[in-house]
């Protein structure tokens, strides 16, 4: 019964993290002319949560496998769930590298935006 309670809690936590990922903004704010007016750090939180969600899904699959092994009627699913768990576990390092590269690309892109905003501010100072 403890596996069932933990499994339900992990499933609810998975759903909560997925909801937060979907609700976070991914674009930097713009003015009515389409120019960038600032940077949002929520997109970095979103990327980190996507990485964390992979681990949460792995934990949920592991609990599903343990629950399937303990229930006599669900043992036929233990092999399938265990196989999915092992496949995802073996690809976890690729997922981690992808998240790190994604964060680096977003930082690089935001660096270009910061330079663009600074150039506009200098233009405005020179006009005044």
pTM for the complete prediction? 0.75
pLDDT of residue 14: 93
pLDDT of residue 72: 67
Alpha carbon distances (Å) from 126 to 35, 36, 112, 121:
19, 20, 21, 9
Domains of the chain: total: 1
pLDDT of residue 128: 63
Contacts with 26 (C-beta within 8 Å, 6 or more apart), sequence order: 42, 43, 46
Q: For residue 77, give the 3-state DSSP assignment.
A: helix
Distance (Å, whole) CA 87 – CA 84? 5
pLDDT of residue 44: 87
For residue 105, what are the domain limits? 2-127
**Average pLDDT by consecutive 10-residue portion of the chain (128 residues)?**
86 94 82 75 88 92 83 73 87 92 88 79 77
């Amino acid at each position: 019964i403890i596996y069932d309670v933990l499994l339900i809690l992990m499933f609810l936590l998975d759903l909560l993290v997925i909801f937060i990922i979907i609700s976070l903004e991914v674009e930097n704010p713009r003015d009515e002319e389409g120019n960038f007016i600032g940077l949002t750090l929520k997109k970095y939180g979103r990327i980190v949560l996507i990485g964390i969600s992979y681990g949460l899904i792995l934990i949920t699959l592991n609990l599903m496998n343990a629950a399937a092994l303990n229930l006599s009627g669900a043992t036929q699913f233990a092999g399938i769930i265990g196989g999915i768990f092992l496949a995802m576990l073996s690809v976890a390092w690729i997922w981690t590298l992808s998240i790190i590269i994604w964060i680096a690309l977003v930082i690089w892109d935001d660096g270009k935006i910061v330079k663009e905003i600074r150039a506009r501010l200098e233009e405005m100072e020179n006009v005044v």
